[in-house]
Amino acid sequence: MTHSIEHITLPTASLGTERNVTVHRFGTPGARPKAYLHAALHAQELPGIVVLEHLQKRLHEADAEGKIIGEIALVPFANPIGLSQQIMMEAQGRYDLDTNRNYNRGFPDLIGEVVEVIADSLTDDGDENVAVIRTAIGTALEGRKDAREADVLKLRLLQLSHDADLVLDLHSAWEALLHLFVTDVNWPDADDLARQIGAEVVLVDRGNRMMTFKSAHALLWKEVAARFPDHPVPPGSLTAVVELRGQRDVDDHLTRPDADNLYHWLQRRGVIAGSPGPLPEARCEPRSVVGLHRLTAEAGGILVYHRQLGHAVREGETFCHILDPETATRTPVTAPIDGLLYARRSHRFARKGQYFCAIAGDTPIEG
């Protein structure tokens, strides 16, 4: 049996408090491929925690049977700080209440530092270059002297994941279809992930400087490769955000199959021995994140939807009204583009100017 549990203590933020990040490890340290999965970086997004509980049970069985070939690190809840933020029985784990910063923004940007360190060390061997870059990333992370609890949390999550071949960040929206965010440097490599989990929407981006957890990985590899075009620099990790439907979708009839799909994907990627079975057919075509529209309310009131999630809207189509109960008038909400209604807030009251739903536009990714 290779399973072990590590508790990483975060700095004490206030008198009498102490929080820990719990890591479950399977396999032999240093074995390849290495997979890293965490859940609930936005702490109120709970489905991923349940999915990883189911996955952990399957990994225990695989471990007992000697089937774990690579190394696996699971962090069942990646944000113990946010989990403690309860206001009047409602979780407030998306933003740090101390700083108003999004927990999935502001991860360390190491691109410049890594580029400088590796400039004279790259070779004509892609695998060797990946190893050199991973070492440089690890050294840069080790040299950081962050003090705030939330900043140290982000640092620790990168230290756990920076050298992984496969990195999954499990999230969920308010109400949503199962969907996937991936950076272009990892597409179409992530096609098997999208198909295995049954993603109904796949959004491909170019990376962003807000330095989400995903961008802290994918954008670094993308930009390092761009800075050294004369040397082979393949992506050192496949990093993706898996959005596990809505925040209330924690029931076992949904989360257990999700865990099974992640297990089969790890088999498919050689982390776990055994046959994953045939790869499912794709449930959608990839879309560019450029076509993503997050709608904001033009008036305050009650949201009355006439179309359900998964409906293909057409530009100009009225798919929702905003009811003003004081005047008994309804403001129509029309689709700004052709696309798929894939996410919406679970609360049906919106203030003027407030984001309340999202449409994935029919914008194909660039070749």
Give, for all 367 residues of the chain, the pLDDT tens digit: 999 999 999 999 888 888 999 999 999 999 999 999 999 999 999 999 999 999 999 999 999 999 999 999 999 999 999 999 988 888 889 999 989 999 999 999 999 999 999 999 999 999 999 999 999 999 999 999 988 999 999 999 999 999 999 999 999 999 999 999 999 999 999 999 999 999 999 999 999 889 999 999 999 999 999 999 999 999 999 999 999 999 999 999 999 999 999 999 999 999 999 999 999 999 999 999 999 999 999 999 999 999 999 999 999 999 999 999 999 999 999 999 999 999 999 999 999 999 999 999 999 987 5
Contact criterion met (CB below 8 Å) for 53 and 39 = no
Q: State the span(s) of the chain assigned CATH 3.40.630.10.
A: 4-284
Tell me 294's DSSP state: E
Q: Which among 247, 216, 243 has a CA at the least distance from the CA of 105?
A: 216
As a 3-state breakdown, the chain gives helix, strand, coil percent values, each rounded to 5, of 30, 30, 40
**Cα(289)–Cα(330) distance, integer angstroms:** 31
What is 4-284's CATH topology? Aminopeptidase (3.40.630)
CATH classification code of 289-361: 2.40.50.100
Q: Give the pLDDT score at 86.
A: 87
Tell me 186's DSSP state: G
pTM of model > 0.85:
yes
Q: State the span(s) of the chain assigned CATH 2.40.50.100.
A: 289-361
Q: Are strands 318-324 and 301-305 parallel, antiparallel or unpaired?
A: antiparallel
Q: Give the pLDDT score at 17.
A: 86
Q: Which among 285, 284, 20 has a CA at the least distance from the CA of 152?
A: 20
User: What residues contact 122, with CB distance under 8 A and at least 6 apart?
Assistant: 129, 132, 228, 231, 233
Alpha carbon dihedral 24, 29, 32, 38, in 10-degree steps, equals 20
DSSP H or E run through 301:
strand 301-305
Q: Give the pLDDT score at 366.
A: 72
The amino acid that residue 137 corresponds to is I
